[in-house]
Amino acid sequence: MMQGAGAWFLQHSPRQVLDFTVAYMEQPRRPTPLSRSCFALGFLVTLLLYRLRQEFIWFPLHPLGYAMGPSWLMIQLWFSTLLGWLLKASLLRYGGLFAFQRWRPFFLGLLIGEYLTAGWWLAIDYAFGKVGHRFFLF
């Protein structure tokens, strides 16, 4: 069992969708009126958000945000996402496209640095046989 990078993050979480799909294929369930109405409501809300973004350039809500909102990852990373959005909106509003393009390498560097640091520590853990070093949200 993988200890160094977190068994849930690298093993159990990716298998969760596959396990659900296999169980559903082995024992399919018929849709209920509630599940159909929830599906229809979700479709209509997504379609409405899509149309509003097409019609009004200032509209801040994205249909992908509606779909990703209740996911585990967004529950954990909502503040970082909000902070990034606020910085981007501020740069575009007060500095324009030029400021956004000038600061883009800095923010990409933050992302790349995060991944390189996690990879560096995983390589050190592997080289020295250490287990239990955690990264990301653990």
Look at residue 107 and tell me if it is in a domain: yes
Q: Is residue 72's pLDDT more than 90?
A: no
CB atoms within 10 A of CB 6: 18
Q: Which domain holds residue 105?
A: 70-130
Categorize the per-residue pLDDT at 136 as very low, low, confident or very high, splitting at 50, 70 and 90.
low
In total, how many domains does the chain have?
A: 1
Q: Which of 70, 66, 73 is CA-nearest to residue 46?
A: 66
Q: Is residue 106 part of a domain?
A: yes
Task: In whole angstroms, give the CA distance from residue 53 to residue 49.
Answer: 6
Q: Is residue 137 domain-resident?
A: no
Separation CA 90–CA 33 (nearest Å): 45
Residue 47, domain member (yes or no): no
Model pTM? 0.57
**Mean pLDDT over residues 58-81, rounded?**
84
Which has more confidence, 52 or 11?
A: 52
3-state secondary structure 50-112: HHHHHHCCCCCCCHHHHHHCCCHHHHHHHHHHHHHHHHHHHHHHHHHHHHHHHHHHHHHHHHH
Instruction: Give pLDDT tens digits for 79-97.
Output: 888 898 899 999 999 999 9
In a domain, 3, yes or no: no
Cα separation of 41 and 26, whole Å? 28
Which phi and psi (to 5°) does residue 117 adopt? Answer: -65, -45
pLDDT, residue 65, reads 85
Q: Each residue of 14-66: pLDDT tens digit?
A: 788 889 899 989 998 899 999 999 999 999 999 999 999 999 988 988 898 88
Question: Is 60 a domain residue?
Answer: no
How many Å apart are CA 136 and CA 138, to the nearest integer? 6
**Residue 27 falls inside a structural domain:** no
Domain assignment present for 50: no
Q: Could you identify the residue written with the tokens 């000038």?
A: 102
Cβ atoms of 84 and 74 within 8 Å: the answer is no
